[in-house]
């Protein structure tokens, strides 16, 4: 009987360990951002805008957006009604900060795009449609401030 108790205890321990990652994500919330952004680039890329972040736990916050960086890039763009989806967030204030970005882009008149950004454990997927013209490759930062 002791062998069965040891096997049972081992099975319970294995089950508890398997559940640990799920428990660690139990406090994760879903956050989305709607935004508008406009900017230009001639080797140096800059853009400014604003948005609203809303989370599944009822928190919401108005934010200011900035994008900056450099590369081989030329153009002028505007995004209206953009959408951002965050992952790895446990409190709305974790969305604030500097996200690393790298992108390749090309578009004329009406265009659409998507971009994935990271800041530590927080991920941000941006998508939107807009107007303008652009061509190039850029590296830099996407900054969300209160």
The ranges assigned to domains in the chain are 27-145
Rounded to the nearest integer, the mean pLDDT of the chain is: 75
Beta bridge partners of 45: 41, 69
d(CA 72, CA 23): 45
d(CA 55, CA 33): 9
Burial class (CB in 10 A: 0-12, 13-18, 19+), 98: middle
Most confidently modeled range among 24-28, 85-89, 128-132: 85-89
| pLDDT tens by residue, 4-52 | 434 343 343 334 334 333 334 558 999 999 999 888 777 667 889 999 9
Kindly compute the dihedral angle of the four CA atoms of residues 71, 76, 80, 86, in this order, to the nearest 10 degrees: 0
């Amino acid at each position: 009987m002791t062998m069965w108790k040891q096997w049972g205890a081992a099975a319970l321990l294995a089950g508890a360990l398997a559940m640990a990652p799920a428990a660690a994500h139990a406090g994760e919330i879903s956050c989305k951002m709607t935004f508008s952004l406009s900017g230009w680039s001639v080797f140096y890329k800059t853009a400014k805008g604003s948005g609203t972040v809303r989370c599944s736990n009822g928190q919401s916050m108005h934010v200011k957006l900035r994008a900056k960086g450099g590369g081989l890039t030329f153009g002028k763009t505007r995004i209206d009604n953009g959408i951002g989806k965050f992952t790895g967030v446990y409190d709305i204030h974790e969305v604030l900060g500097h996200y690393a970005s790298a992108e390749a882009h090309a578009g004329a008149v009406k265009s659409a795009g998507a971009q994935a950004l990271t800041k530590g454990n927080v991920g941000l997927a941006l998508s939107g449609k807009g107007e303008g013209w652009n061509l190039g490759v850029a590296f830099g930062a996407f900054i969300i401030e209160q």
